[in-house]
Amino acid sequence: MFHCGHVDLLRKAKNLGDLLIVGVHADAVVNKHRGSNYPIMNMQERVLSVLGCRYVDDVLLDAPWQVTREMIATLRLSVVVRGTVCDTVRRAAAEDPHSVPRHGRSAKVHLWQYGLLWNKLCNN
What is the chain's pLDDT, residue by residue, as a tens digit (124 residues)? 788 888 988 998 898 888 999 999 899 988 888 788 888 899 999 999 999 999 999 999 998 888 888 888 888 888 888 766 555 444 555 566 666 666 666 556 665 543 333 344 433 3
pLDDT at 102: 63
Domain boundaries, the chain: 4-123
CATH number for the region 4-123 comes to 3.40.50.620
Find, among 13, 46, 40, 11, the residue nearest to 122 by Cα: 13
Q: Would you call the peptide bond into 39 cis, given omega within 30 degrees of 0 as the criterion?
A: yes
Contacts of 74 (CB under 8 A, 6+ apart): none
pLDDT at 10: 92
In tens, the pLDDT along 54-86 reads: 999 999 999 888 888 888 888 888 888 876 655
pLDDT at 84: 62
pLDDT at 70: 87
Contacts of 101 (CB under 8 A, 6+ apart): 67, 72, 77, 80, 107, 108, 109
